Amino acid sequence: MFKNFILNMLVLAFLLSDCSKYNEVRRGLDFLKTNSFQCDVVQVIYGDMFYCQLSDRETEKIKLIGVEIPKPIEGKAAAFTKSILKRGTLVKLEFDKETRDRYGHILAYVYLPGGKWLNSLLIQEGYARVVINLSDVRYKDLFLNLQKEAKEQGKGFWGIK
């Protein structure tokens, strides 16, 4: 019994010490409790995905919520996103119900300096189609309306014959 008490105290001391992973894990959980976060763009990967430096945290992959880049326009979509997201650009990430996808990417609505919204810009310019998951429905109607307008105007993907 005394051995169990000592063992439990050692485990507790280890978890609470600065040399453990406890503080790192706790900071990671605190990050997920917030509805928004700012980060610095490091590199654009695709039209709907980029690396971002989250203050003192590691670099993370950010995946835009609600958009999917059609194959025929992948290169143009990536070039469009790269023209907007330069290295060091400070963006605001807003989260929905799910904060990560099955691959571990952070899922976010991305706001640019000046208040423009990257997710909606991609849809509006025809570089992305709307993808609505049951867990990410906050802006469904807006996204669908922007897609309808892009289709009607033959923008981007919708203009390809």
State residue 101 phi and psi, 5-degree precision: -90, -175
Residue 122 φ/ψ region, left for φ over 0, alpha for ψ in the -120 to 50 degree band, beta for the rest:
alpha
**27 shares its domain with 48:** no
List C-alpha distances in Å: 130 to 32, 98, 134, 153, 155. Answer: 25, 17, 13, 16, 14
pLDDT tens-digit profile, the chain (161 residues): 544 444 444 343 444 444 444 344 434 444 444 577 899 999 999 999 999 998 776 899 999 999 999 999 999 999 999 999 999 999 999 998 888 999 999 999 999 999 899 999 999 999 999 998 766 668 989 999 999 999 999 999 999 87
Structurally, how many domains does the chain consist of? 2
Full residue range of the structural domain in which residue 28 is found: 1-33
Question: Are 50 and 41 spatial neighbours (Cβ–Cβ below 8 Å)?
Answer: yes
First to last CA, the chain: 76
Q: Are residues 66 and 8 in the same domain?
A: no
Longest CA–CA separation in the chain, Å? 77
83, 131: one domain: yes
Residues 44 and 85 in one domain: yes
In terms of pTM, does the model score above 0.85? no
Residue 41's Cβ-side half-sphere holds a number of Cα atoms within 13 Å equal to: 23
